[in-house]
């Protein structure tokens, strides 16, 4: 059968990325406490395509994914290398988005339960591999203005602190989550008994935070972290007194990234 | 050209609903204050199909929609009648989901802005037309337990009060929204200046509500409303101390519907 | 600390369902081939609440979930029993939505890969447990009308066949998937080499199907299945010549359900 | 009342963007045929915040939006100017996402109906305003490989061609849509009678296109368009033989943008 994809192309337009998206795939993740943790990822894979070739070979993306072992910088790089080789590309891209569960203890009762964190790994390789990790961590923010001007109470809400980093060494998901949680008036827990709820309520009231505060508190810690070369922080607050969200975003300039 | 859809079918299986979904269409809605309000709807249309006919004629659904004037019980019924006639059906179905804007005044400053309400109209007709209206109204809930057990503060959050009704007379969207807002510790406003934020914060603190309370407060008012024959209330609270929602649902038994 | 939830309520309105939603939780599923398969579920849990009690105890839902072992009718019933007991309820509800992976062989090359199926289990228990299983299976539909009237070609597209059943005996997810796939012009495969693509293209062209056909073909097989007491089939086709979907829905009348 | 947002900040971290998101707002759009067209937008607004100020004033975003007249480069710039002034910012950002309806005539019968196009306007202003327009246009792609290797038929599907541009002069949404439609094996129509369906089916079969072809055909036309300074094209195909999408992306290098 003729290989139509391999036809010559005369339109002189190189393609930055061509591949597959919205593929779901079971994955295994390194877990700081339990060794390994299963999850389900949404996967995107792509390569570049030179101007003189008509099409890529889509089935090879899925084939390359089948060799993926437990997710690590090394296993991601092996898939990128396979893509480059099998598809004769200069550059390969692999993105995985998946929920990851963290065991959390309630602050007073100590009861344990699981908190889901939405994570994204974005890997690409031309010569050297670059890897971005992103975690979206639920936090609780209590409004400093509302507390200051009101006789009692203060509006508060669930917010999401999204932290995206490039590292110059290994960093656990767990570590990024802890870092993101420092941005909130308090952390979020999957399971709280009454003494825990009292603790969380009072802790938040003592520690009011705008989205701007939350983003800055997280940025300070990312800035001083020895293995984080670059970061972007974005805090989105599901405002409880409005039907829209408030957000603040801080990003390290790429030129200032630590080597 | 042969009409394949009109072929006889021998599988002896009638089809409850066949039609189109996920169609977007511009609509005009009756507005209590301004006469008429434009919006964009997601539309679903269907008819039943007897066991002995192979297929319906999909293009006629879109054609029938083009005669839709400003949305009212009467204009919806005209589309249903057209569907029944053009598709030789016993039963026709039409669902429209759309955002609707309500002008709201801030409680102290009186500043006006627009609050978006997600609405659904579900109409169907065999002999007589039945019409269900649904509004999803953002409200604010402050936790009674958290207030009671804490030395200060109380966790609160945005919630959605979904009210679905069948009526025996005309009811404005605006009326259902006001009704749903009574369920919250306070209503939600698109625009609040500082004196408004103080008012809202204190009002919520004085008026704590579980999702169970919110649902019941709304149900009481629906129960005693003269033109509401049947209802379902569902309150979903974006818990600010958890990464999941709390919800409560009350439904009038169909047998008890007011004639 | 005072138990505010346990307060008496005088509004005389019982609550049909109160609980938590949008909770994500890791699960283990029975796998016909491999014994067990991990996945991540979106969970909803609820109980009824009598008119004279103000609120339920939300933390006990998450606690009850922690005892959930590999998903089976028996393990789901144990969670429902725990909910009824711990929350002093007459009725308990548990819904799990999760992706499940099926190993599929390409039709000619035999290459294996994984196809993701979105599944829902809806369990509830008052006296006896009732369990509904739902699978959403991607299929391929080729339009009989387009084939008939055109000189060459025929439009075709991805569709989703959603099959929901109540059984009177154990049925594997794999079995429901196979059943749903019979509705399509051809099944969908995660990985196809060129000879497979030829096979699939020709197979679909030889076997044109409207959404009405797809739904009926599936319904016939569900109707005659000895362990399926009740079913609903809904086929949604992402029409390739329109920007909206076509759908057809068949449902067994509940009164006709097999005992 | 104290202005907590105006407090000095000592963390030395400037904020790139702070503002509101997920706000819905009714808008009026310039319509090439009808003068003006109403729609509903999802809005995001932001400003930068210097390191030495604690917070922005969130209510002023909504206030500034209320002055927005029919959407045009000029009216967007007026909102950006208002944001910069009222929030004492160096930079302001405004993003609007909305459906826009295009009247389309069926290719043979000439029957008219409305096709919905999802659009995004991204405007920002430091010194000069920059404006990006994006349209997501549904098209139909028929696989050249499948056609080549099969005895009859060819798999085809709905795809989305997303075209994002910066212009150096006014460009109608209608013009971008037409441009994007050239990428497909055929365009998509909201309403097709039988002779139209025959035309579309045969046209697509005569004109097979990979996602790579679609992206390149669109890029060629964008490249030679006199008022398009920069562009990104991304074509996403809802593969009808798989449960994942294929995509191709071409982007003009920013350094090569036309002045």
Nearest-angstrom CA–CA distance, C89 and C82? 10
Q: Please check whether residue A198 touches C, CB under 8 A.
A: yes
Q: Is residue C165 part of a domain?
A: yes
Confidence of residue D35 (pLDDT cuts 50, 70, 90): confident
Nearest-angstrom CA–CA distance, D91 and D82? 11
**Taking the CB of residue A210, how many other CB atoms lie within 10 A of it?**
26
Q: Is residue A5 part of a domain?
A: no
* pLDDT (tens place) for every residue of chain A, 259 residues total: 888 999 999 999 999 999 999 999 999 998 888 889 999 999 999 999 999 999 999 999 999 999 888 899 999 999 999 999 999 999 999 999 999 999 999 999 999 999 999 999 999 999 999 999 999 999 999 999 999 999 999 999 999 999 999 999 889 999 999 999 999 999 999 999 999 999 999 999 999 999 999 999 999 999 999 999 999 999 999 999 999 999 999 999 988 888 7
Nearest-angstrom CA–CA distance, C96 and C42? 6
Q: State the residue for tokens 């154990």.
A: C170
The model's pLDDT over D81-110, given as tens digits with 9 standing for 90+, comes to 999 999 999 999 999 999 999 999 999 999
pLDDT at A173: 95
Q: Is residue A3 part of a domain?
A: no
Query: Residues A99, A101, A104, CA angle at the centre, nearest 5°?
Result: 145
Give the Å distances, CA to CA, from C2 to A139, B65, B146, B148, C10.
27, 57, 11, 7, 19
Contacts of A160 in chain D (CB under 8 A): none
Q: Please check whether residue D25 touches A, CB under 8 A.
A: no
Q: Do D11 and A220 touch (CB under 8 A)?
A: yes
Nearest-angstrom CA–CA distance, C100 and C230? 22
pLDDT at C114: 97
Query: Going by C-beta distance under 8 Å and a sequence separation of 6 or more, which residues neighbour residue C99?
Result: A24, A40, C39, C40, C116, C117, C118, C119
The model's pLDDT over D162-192, given as tens digits with 9 standing for 90+, comes to 999 999 988 999 999 999 999 999 999 999 9
pLDDT at A257: 86
Backbone dihedral angles phi then psi of residue D5, each to the nearest 5 degrees: -60, -30
CB B118 within 8 A of CB A170: no
Confidence of residue B178 (pLDDT cuts 50, 70, 90): very high
Q: Using CA atoms of C212, C213, C215, C217 in order, give the dihedral in degrees to the nearest 10.
A: 160
Contacts of A99 in chain C (CB under 8 A): 24, 40
Nearest to B62 by CA among D197, D113, C242, C243: D113
Give the Å distances, CA to CA, from C235 to B45, C47, C176.
15, 32, 14
* Sign of CA pseudo-dihedral C127, C128, C129, C130: negative
Q: State the residue for tokens 């449960």.
A: D243
- Residues of chain C under the 50 pLDDT cut: none
Helix (H) and strand (E) counts for chain B?
6, 9
Contacts of A40 in chain C (CB under 8 A): 39-40, 99, 116
Nearest-angstrom CA–CA distance, B9 and C144? 14
CATH number at residue A33: 3.10.270.10
Q: How many CA atoms lie within 13 A of A112 on its CB side?
A: 4
Q: Do A59 and C23 touch (CB under 8 A)?
A: no
Contacts of D239 in chain C (CB under 8 A): 158
Distance from CA of B45 to the nearest CA of D (A): 14
How many cross-chain Cβ pairs, B to C, lie less than 8 Å apart? 140
Q: Is residue A7 part of a domain?
A: no
Q: Please check whether residue B114 touches D, CB under 8 A.
A: yes
CB B193 within 8 A of CB C36: no
Q: Do C191 and A25 touch (CB under 8 A)?
A: no
**Taking the CB of residue D97, how many other CB atoms lie within 10 A of it?**
17
Backbone dihedral angles phi then psi of residue D24, each to the nearest 5 degrees: -105, 145
Nearest-angstrom CA–CA distance, A26 and A99? 11
Q: Testing the interface with D: which of B58, B103, B191 to mutate, by most D Cβ within 10 A?
A: B191
Q: Is residue D1 part of a domain?
A: no
The model's pLDDT over B9-46, given as tens digits with 9 standing for 90+, comes to 999 999 999 999 999 999 999 888 888 999 999 999 99
Nearest-angstrom CA–CA distance, A121 and B8? 54
Ranking B70-74, B119-123, D31-35, D184-188 by mean pLDDT, the lowest is D31-35
pLDDT at D257: 86
Q: Do C11 and B216 touch (CB under 8 A)?
A: yes
Confidence of residue D258 (pLDDT cuts 50, 70, 90): confident
Q: Testing the interface with C: which of D155, D208, D210, D238 to mutate, by most C Cβ within 10 A?
A: D155
What is the end-to-end Cα distance of chain D in Å, rounded? 50
Q: Please check whether residue D62 touches B, CB under 8 A.
A: yes
* Sign of CA pseudo-dihedral D39, C158, A27, A64: negative
CB C158 within 8 A of CB C238: yes
What predicted TM-score, i.e. pTM, was given to this entire model? 0.96
Contacts of A249 in chain D (CB under 8 A): 15-18, 46
Query: Going by C-beta distance under 8 Å and a sequence separation of 6 or more, which residues neighbour residue C127?
Result: none
Confidence of residue D155 (pLDDT cuts 50, 70, 90): very high
Domain span at residue B28 reads: 15-257
SS3 of residue B216 by DSSP: helix
pLDDT at D32: 84
pLDDT at A131: 96
Q: Do D190 and B40 touch (CB under 8 A)?
A: no
CB B9 within 8 A of CB B51: yes
Q: Is B110 left (phi over 0), alpha (psi -120 to 50) or beta?
A: left
Q: Do C63 and A191 touch (CB under 8 A)?
A: yes
Structure tokens given for C237? 């086709």
Query: Residues B100, B102, B108, CA angle at the centre, nearest 5°?
Result: 155
The answer for A 115-144 residues in CB contact with C (under 8 A) is: 116
Across the range D106-127, mean pLDDT stands at 97
How many cross-chain Cβ pairs, A to C, lie less than 8 Å apart? 57
Nearest-angstrom CA–CA distance, C145 and B33? 48
Task: Note the Cα A195 to chain centre separation in Å.
Answer: 32
Nearest to A128 by CA among A166, A164, A172: A166
Query: Going by C-beta distance under 8 Å and a sequence separation of 6 or more, which residues neighbour residue D253?
Result: none
pLDDT at A1: 82
CB C89 within 8 A of CB C46: no
Q: Do D99 and B24 touch (CB under 8 A)?
A: yes
Task: Note the Cα A124 to chain centre separation in Å.
Answer: 15
Say yes or no to pLDDT of D259 above 80.
Answer: no
Nearest to D103 by CA among C37, B176, B26, A112: B26
CB C183 within 8 A of CB C235: yes
How many cross-chain Cβ pairs, A to B, lie less than 8 Å apart? 130
DSSP states of chain D as a string? ---GGGSB--S---EEEEEEEEEEEEEEEEETTTEEEEEEEEEEEEEEE-TTB----THHHHHHHTT--SB-HHHHHHHHHHHHHHTT-S-EEEEEEEEEEEEEE-TTT--EEEEEEEEEEEEEESSSEEEEEEEEEEEEEE-HHHHHHSSS---EEEEEEEEEEEESS---HHHHHHHHHTTSSEE--S---HHHHHHHHHHHHHS---HHHHHHHHHHHHHT-TTEEEEEEEEEE--SSSSSEEEEEEE--GGG---
Q: Is residue D41 part of a domain?
A: yes
Nearest-angstrom CA–CA distance, D90 and D49? 8
Q: Is residue D45 part of a domain?
A: yes
DSSP states of A25-92 as a string? EEEEEEETTTEEEEEEEEEEEEEEE-TTB----THHHHHHHTT--SB-HHHHHHHHHHHHHHTT-S-E
Please tell me the total count of domains within chain B.
Answer: 1
DSSP states of B90-128 as a string? S-EEEEEEEEEEEEEE-TTT--EEEEEEEEEEEEEESSS
Beta-bridge partners for A28: A38
Contacts of B138 in chain D (CB under 8 A): none
CB C118 within 8 A of CB C133: no
The alpha carbons of chain A give a radius of gyration, in whole angstroms, of: 22
SS3 of residue C209 by DSSP: coil
DSSP letter at B4 equals G
SS3 of residue C203 by DSSP: helix
CB C162 within 8 A of CB C234: yes
Nearest to D223 by CA among D182, D177, D183, D165: D165
Nearest CA in chain A to C111: A63
Nearest CA in chain A to C20: A190
Q: Is residue C5 part of a domain?
A: no
pLDDT at C26: 97
Structure tokens given for B212? 């169970």
């Amino acid at each position: 059968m003729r290989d139509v994809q391999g036809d010559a192309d005369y339109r002189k337009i190189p393609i930055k990325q061509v591949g597959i998206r919205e593929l779901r795939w079971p994955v295994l993740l390194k877990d700081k406490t339990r060794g390994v943790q299963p999850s389900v990822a949404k996967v995107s894979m792509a390569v570049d395509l030179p101007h003189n070739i008509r099409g890529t070979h889509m089935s090879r993306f899925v084939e390359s994914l089948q060799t993926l072992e437990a997710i690590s910088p090394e296993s991601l790089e092996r898939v990128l290398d396979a893509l480059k080789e099998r598809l004769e590309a200069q550059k390969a891209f692999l993105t995985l988005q998946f929920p990851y569960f963290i065991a959390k203890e309630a602050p007073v009762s100590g009861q344990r339960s699981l908190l889901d964190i939405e994570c994204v790994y974005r890997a690409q390789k031309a010569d050297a591999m670059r890897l971005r990790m992103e975690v979206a961590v639920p936090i609780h923010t209590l409004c400093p203005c509302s507390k200051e001007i009101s006789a009692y109470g203060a509006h508060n809400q669930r917010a999401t602190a999204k932290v995206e980093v490039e590292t110059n060494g290994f960093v656990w998901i767990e570590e990024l989550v802890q870092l993101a949680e420092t941005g909130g008036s308090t952390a979020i827990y999957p399971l709280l008994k009454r003494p825990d709820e009292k603790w969380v309520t009072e802790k938040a009231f003592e520690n009011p935070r705008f989205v701007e505060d939350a983003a800055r508190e997280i940025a300070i810690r990312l800035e001083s972290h020895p293995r984080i070369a670059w970061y972007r922080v974005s805090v989105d607050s599901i405002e409880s007194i409005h039907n829209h969200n408030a957000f603040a975003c801080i990003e390290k300039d790429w030129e200032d990234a630590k080597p």
